[in-house]
Structures are given as C-alpha cells and as structure tokens.
Structure 1
Amino acid sequence: MKDDTQREPTPELPAEARDTACPVRAVRSGSSGRTGYLVTGYAAARQALGDPRLSKDTAAYFAGKDSGRRLHPAVTRTMLASDPPHHTRLRALVTRAFTTGAVTAMRPFISQVTDTLLDRWPAQGQVDVVADLALPLPVTVICGLLGVPEADRPEVARWSAELFAAGRPELIDDASHAMAAYMTDLIADKRSRPGDALLDRLVSVRDGEDRLSEDELVSLAVLLLVAGHETTTHFIGSALLALLQQPSEMAGLRRDPGRVPGALEELLRHSSPVSTATFRYATETFTLGGTEIPAGAPVQVAIKAADHDPDRWSPCPGRLDLERNAAGHLAFGHGIHRCLGAPLARAEAEIALRAILTRFPELRLAVPPEQLAWRPTRLVRGLVALPVLVRAGSPDRP
C-alpha cells in the first residue's frame, strides 16, 4: 500500500547488502540527498519493525516539506502511516469487522472463485498464471468482501496497480485521487442502501461512542482494497515460479497436497512479495544492529534481504526448502503493524496452489526464467506475467 514513501524513495539495495557484518548501513537518497538507513539483517529488521522509536507517522515527518506531489490524503494517511494511539484505535475498529473467523467462512467462496478461473484454462496449452488466476482471484475476493460492484472491479484493479508504478509520479498521484473519489461515492451509496459487506460494516462499526470519520472510512477502504490483493497476486505468481524451478519440491507437494499449508511459510520466506517495508523514521537517537540511528533519520527495512539472512536462515537461505522451519519470517511484517490480512492471504494462496497442483500435474514454464519480466516497483516485487504450459489431469489421475 502506497503512503508518503513516494516522497522519500527507497534506496536501492546494494550488492553487498547481505553482508552480515553490517546489518544496518547508511545510504544516501539519489533524489533528495538525504541520508537514511537500510536494514538488511534479520535480527535488526525484526527489532526495527516492532520498535516504537521508529515512527510511521509520515504526515508529521513531511510536514512543511514541499515534495511537489499531490497524493490524496486517503493514500498517504492510512492506518499504515500512523502510530499509537491513533493506529491502535483504527486497528481495533477494523478488526471487529475483519476477523479470522470471517476468513474461514469465506473459504468456500475462495475455492469457488479459484475453480471457476481454472475451469477456463485449456486442458492442454499455454496460460498466464498472473492474468488468469493470481490477479483475478484476490481482486474478486477482496472486492466481494468489501462490496465493490463487479462492473467496477477492472477499473479499481487498474488504479490499484498504478499506485505502485515506480518512476511515474503523475500516474500514481492521479490514481490516488481516482481511487479516493470512487471509495467516497461507494461509501455514500452504502449509507443510503446498507448491505452486509465489510465496507457496510465499517460504515456502522462502533467502539462505544467511537466510530470512523468520513476521511478514516475512505482511507481504510482504499488500504483494504489495495493491500487486500496486490501482495497476494505477487505471492501466488512468485511462489509458483519458485516451485517450478525446484521440481522435486513441487513433486512432493503434488504427491501430498495436505502439505501445502505448512509449505506456505517457507514459500513466504523465500518468495515474499514485499521487498521493503513502508516508511519509518527515528523519533530519537538509538542504536540498531550496532549502528547509531540519529533522530529524524528515515529507516527502510529490507524484508526480502532479512528473510534471506544466512545468520538466521542457514544453510542456503536462497534455496527453497519445504522441510525448513520458516516460523518467524517477516513476509507479513512484525509488531503492531503486522499485516491484518495475513489469514486471508494465506487462505487464497493455499487454495490456489493446491488447486493448480492437483488439476494440472504436468505444469511447466513456457519460457526460460530469465525471460520473465518483473514489475518495476520498490515496495513490492511481482511478475508481470507467468506463462506456463498445462495439461489437465484425467479423472483417475490427479
């Protein structure tokens, strides 16, 4: 989910970033010339993600700074870009309407959507996993959960993708206003014609006398919609690619699909869709990973580098090993900002991967891996397309 990190670009990960002797290093932003700190070691990253001395209040950090941008406040001032007690209040209100129980109840719907999409795949031939499953599945689920009309979903998905268009600030700014305007109108419509979707419940949710303001409602709607499918789309594609590149691991899951839920943790560690956590800055001088972070300095946590830190994930952290105990990975973050939608993302990925493995036993890449294109974004990492060759299983052969 985009926030004011667009004003303070994430520094490029240096080639030596995984040097465990230096888990936190000073880096200089190419655009502003400001010195920030890049966290690549696992222990330091875990500390940083949960350390209250690192603020996410981007509005306070950028106050008085002219960025030349015109991002809508619904995108820059989300729950992700706030600290307690404001963050605590918003999360408590949202959690009441977005529970693990609700996700469990949605599993039949997720399975139905997955099967409908896979039914459109040819019995034999080439498909694009991103366009034909990884994107439409989470978009359909989150839009259904929020109550976004089916006719509006393609445009909403396009705006969401444009929010991550690195190097195109005008496109990002325009998309932020389009998304906010749409959600404002949708909330007004739900007030006049209440239903039982998540967004309807957020409109009426209360904690005593407390309730969400109009600006908070729009911001949360945008956050849930974007965060509710972007990373899941990227993870399904990246996880399947990792399995395709290690046929023995893929064959093991195909023989025993019941292992898929457990395998997800190693797949999340190995193929996390989140490259870098959203913006933080130090509210006071303190030491992180042996490096002194001065007050006011921006800090970026490199999630993917931390989840490949050999000090934590040996041996061979770059290798997918489904027997590895990957508990404690940082793909969903850590601390009070840990991803609220983790149960939903897990359910969607589990159901999608299990269905692909059982229905298409001879799945293989249609092009060499080096020909695959990745979306040019900094916060998240995902494939533009994943072309594969498929052959459906026969009734007596899974």
Structure 2
Amino acid sequence: MTSQNAALKHPEPFDETFRANPYAVYAHLREAGPVHQVALPDGSLAWIVTREADVRTGLIDPRLSVSKVHARTGYKGFSLPPALDANLLNIEAGDHLRLRRLVSSGFTARRVASLRPQIQAAADGLADRLARRIASQGHADLVAEYANPLPLVVIGELLGVPEADRQPFSAWVGAMIAPKTPQDVAAAIGRIHNFLIDLVADRRARPGDDLLSDLIAARDVDDRLTEDELVSLAFLILMAGSENAQHLISGGLLTLLDHPDQLAAIRDDWSLLPEAVEELLRYALPNQMAIRRFPTEQMEIGGIRIPAGDTVLLCLASANRDPERYPDPDRFDIRREDKAHLALGHGLHYCLGAPLARVEIALAFSTLLTRLPDLRLAVPAERLRWNTSFRSHALRELPITASP
C-alpha cells in the first residue's frame, strides 16, 4: 500500500463512533498505520500521528513548528486576536524561552507549596457544599459542584482574578472549545479578549502578590514583554490551568469508581495517590491532541511523506494507549511500573504548570474521597453524557451520591 493510500483509508474518523468511544477509533488507526490524513469537523485536512514513538519524537522535532507562520495557505483553526495569540503554544525557540523564563516563577516549588493551603481550603469548602447538596436532594453533579470550580479557585488565586469573574471565564472557554454554533466561537473569543484587557488594566492599577502582577511589572519596568504577550500569557494560564484540570478531576473520579479494586488500594494506602494521578494522566487524559504543528520542510513521519505547511496533530491520547509502549494499555493500573506518559507534553513545550496540576489533582481526590467515603454514581454509567471532539473528551456532568 502506498503512503497516499494509507493516508486516505480513514478520511473522516471523528464521527458518531468516535464520539461514543474515541479510544477504539485510535486503536483502529494505530493498527492501520502510524499516520493518516484525516478530515477535521471544519472540513480542513490534517495528518494525525497515532503511535507513541512517533508522537514522542514529533514533540521534540524542530521541523514541526507550532508557529502559524509556517502553516499552509488556507489553514483554519481558531482565529484569535493578537492579544490572545502571542502565547507559548504559538511561539518557538528564543521568544518561547524568554516568555517561559518569565512565567516559570509562578510555578516554582515554593510558589506551588504556598498555594497548597488555599487549594486544600477550597477543596474542603467545595466538598462540604457537595455533601450538603447530596443530603438535601439525594445526589449532586460533581462537575458543576466540585470539578469545575476548584481549578478556577486555584488559577484565580495564582493570577489574581476576582472570584466573581472566574466562572464566567470558564464558561467562555467552554464555548470556545466546544461551541454549539460557529457563532459561539467568535462571541466567546470576544468576551475573553475584553475580560483579559480589563483584568490587566485592573492589576496594573492595583498590583498584588500574584503572577499577573509580576508579569505586568516585567512588561512595564523591564520591558521584557509586549502588551500582546502579556495578555496572551494570562489567557493561556487561565485556559490551560482551569480546563484540563476540571476535566481530569471528573473523568479521573469516574475511572476510580469504575475500578473499585484500585480505589480500595488507594484508600488503604494514601501513598499510592501520586502514582494513581500519573496513571490517570495516561489513561484518562481529556486533552486528546498536542497543539497542532506545521512542518517547516517536507518530512517523513512513520514512513509517510508530509508536505511543508500541512497541519500535523500528535495524538497524545492514542500514544498513551499504544500497546507497543505500554503492556495491556487499556487496563487502568495504579501500580503500573512504566508511567512515563505524554499527557503533559515532552521537550520544549512540556507543561509549565505540571507541578501545580499534580498537587491540585491529588488534593482534589484525597479531599473528596475522605469527606465522602462511600461516594458512588447516582446513575448507570451508560447514561453519562460526554463532550467529545478531536480536541477533548470530557464529561458534561457526573451525578454522584453518598450516604448522609
């Protein structure tokens, strides 16, 4: 079979079958070949890379650029204003490292440790509210009552976002990522843009002990940031720091409830919790793809020739379930020896907030499982609804119950 025939064998994988079970589709694609040219929901074409070895290599290959200046004419995707687009996900090499050094102060071990009491207090308060809701009505939605608000508290404290503004921002990001209509995307981007412009102006007028105030000082005093870079960094930190953690808390809890033996092991030995978080990142990753990339020259991936400027999607969710890399990859096992997943990236674009995310998710689970020791689903698992796209696989809600 020629590389072109292999690429065209699965032109439209993101159909109803995919939405029902994306991992089955990824398995089919991996078995059929390492790389496929596919049609995205907006009609554009992209190359999807499915096997762990190729994804891992692609994440550090300098020929695969995240900068849209290398995209072929006609590239679609989010059309962001410059004040949201000049972030770490779209910038390479020198500028990327310059911005990364400036932001890294917000994610040092000292900063993360200083946030632990706030994370714990927020988790305690939300868990108590969840318990009261269950006591009053017999069930509650973990997504709305716990998984969504907790990361917003954490990232809001980090950036100095007023409490009243955190939930609206989260809703706008959700509308941008999973819109009901095409018009929703533009509307959400406009609201996010205006919100961040106002937030930066407020923090500039009233600086505090938060990362955004530090970044503003770097912009205004040392002139190491442009205004667009400043707003774009705030956008990226707020979006990435809230959305992925929200989905992993809800999807991770469902995974634990689906594997009662693993959950019991954690309850018996809380030292297993960090290992469980790593396995959840591999097994239940909500973010399906790494940020799209564009070859700066014609190149081969998995023996398939890819022209310069085409869109390449490195599929993290598929790589993390590759049987060539992980024995019995569809088995959830917190004692798995090799958990070196790609959920948080690899190389230059490795997730800057990884230490904070790990602490936040571990505290979210330990608090929830301690406060509600017999937590369980309030509906059959087959009735749960998902928002699934080629970008994300996340629960819409997670009805739970527990004994009073």
* TM-score w.r.t. length of structure 1: 0.89
Change (3 A) 1:29 1:70: closer
Amino acid at match of 2:197: T
CA deviation string 1:136-190 (max 9, x = no partner):
1001111111111112222222112112124633211111121111111111122
Larger mean CA deviation between 294-303 and 264-273 belongs to 294-303
CA-CA distance at 1:25 after TM superposition: 2.3
My pick for the range that moved more, 46-55 or 76-85, is: 76-85
Alpha carbons of structure 1 residues 25 and 207: separation in structure 2 relative to 1, 3 Å: farther
Q: 2:343 matched to 1:334?
A: no
Rate the CA distance shift 1:200–1:341 in 2: closer, same or farther, 3 A. Answer: same
Report the CA distance shift for 1:30/1:119 in structure 2 as closer, same or farther (over 3 A).
closer
Residues 216-251 of structure 1: CA deviation (Å, up to 9, x unaligned):
111111111111110000001111101101111111
Which of residues 48, 51, 59 in structure 2 aligns to 1:41? 51
Question: Quick check: 1:242 aligned with 2:252?
Answer: no
Pair 1:362–1:320, CA change in 2 (3 A): same
Report the more deviating stretch, 316-325 or 371-380: 371-380
Q: Is the alpha carbon distance of 1:33 and 1:208 closer, same or farther for their aligned partners in structure 2, counting shifts above 3 Å?
A: closer
1:371 maps to what in 2? Answer: 383
Equivalent pair of 1:113/1:137 in contact (CA under 8 Å): yes
Tell me the secondary structure at the aligned position of residue 37 of structure 2: strand
Deviation at 1:272, TM superposition (A): 0.8
Q: Name the % identity.
A: 42
CA offsets, 1:312-350, max 9 Å, x none? 111x21111111024320111111111111111111110
State the partner residue of 1:148: 161
Relative to 1, partners in 2 of residues 1:41 and 1:68: Cα closer, same or farther, differing over 3 Å?
closer
| 1:239 partner SS | helix
Question: Which shifted more, 13-22 or 160-169?
Answer: 13-22
Aligned position for 2:269:
256
| Per-residue deviation, residues 198-231 of structure 1 (Å, max 9, x unmatched) | 1101101379955111111111111111111100
Matched with 2:116 is 107
Task: Give the drift of 1:77.
Answer: 3.5
Q: How far did 1:66 drift?
A: 8.0
Change (3 A) 1:214 1:19: closer
Q: Is contact 2:63–2:297 with CA below 8 Å preserved after alignment? A: yes
The alignment covers a number of residue pairs equal to: 381
Query: Which residue, 55, 61, 67 being the options, matches 2:71?
Result: 61
Q: CA deviation at 1:17?
A: 3.8
Measured against aligned partners, the alpha-carbon deviations of 1:101-127 in whole angstroms (never above 9, x if no partner) come to 211111111001000111112375312
Structure 1 Cα separation of the partners of residues 75 and 32 of structure 2: 37
> Are 1:231 and 1:380, in contact at CA under 8 Å, matched by a contact in 2?
no
Amino acid at match of 2:59: L
Query: 3-state DSSP class of the match of 1:313?
Result: coil
1:68 Cα deviation from its structure 2 partner: 10
CA separation of 1:208/1:131 partners in 2, compared to 1, >3 Å: closer, same or farther? closer
- Assess, with a 3 A threshold, how the Cα gap between structure 1 residues 68 and 365 changes in structure 2: closer, same or farther: closer
Is 1:384 matched up with 2:384? no
Aligned residue in 2 for 1:184? 197
**1:30 Cα deviation after fit:** 5.9
CA distance change for structure 1 residues 31 and 383 in 2, over 3 Å: closer, same or farther? closer
Query: Does the aligned pair in 2 maintain the 1:11–1:38 contact within 8 Å?
Result: no
Alignment of structure 1 residues 1-398 onto 2, 5 Å: 12=14, 14=25, 17-20=28-31, 22-29=33-40, 31-32=42-43, 34=45, 36-61=46-71, 65=74, 71-120=80-129, 121-122=131-132, 124=135, 125-166=138-179, 168-205=181-218, 209-314=222-327, 316-391=328-403
Deviates more, 1:109-118 or 1:149-158: 149-158
The one-letter code of the counterpart of 1:181 is N
Q: CA RMSD in A?
A: 2.4
Give structure 1 stretches of 5+ with no counterpart: 1-9, 393-398
Gaps spanning 5+ residues in structure 2: where?
1-11, 19-24
> Using the alignment, how far apart are the partners of 1:161 and 1:191 within structure 2?
27
C-alpha distance in structure 1 between counterparts of 2:75 and 2:168, whole Å:
31
Whether the aligned pair in 2 keeps the contact of 1:59 and 1:77 (CA below 8 Å) is no
Q: What is the alpha-carbon distance in structure 2 between the residues aligned to residue 360 and residue 225 of structure 1?
A: 29
Question: Which digits, 9 at most, give the CA deviation of each residue in 1:343-363, with x for residues without a partner?
Answer: 111111100111122222211
Contact 1:272–1:331 under 8 Å retained in 2: yes
CA distance in structure 2 between the aligned counterparts of 1:242 and 1:42, rounded to whole angstroms: 22
Q: What amino acid does structure 2 have at the position aligned with 1:279?
A: R
Q: 1:68 to 1:187 in 2, by over 3 A?
A: closer
| Distance (Å, rounded) in 1 between the aligned partners of 2:362 and 2:157 | 19
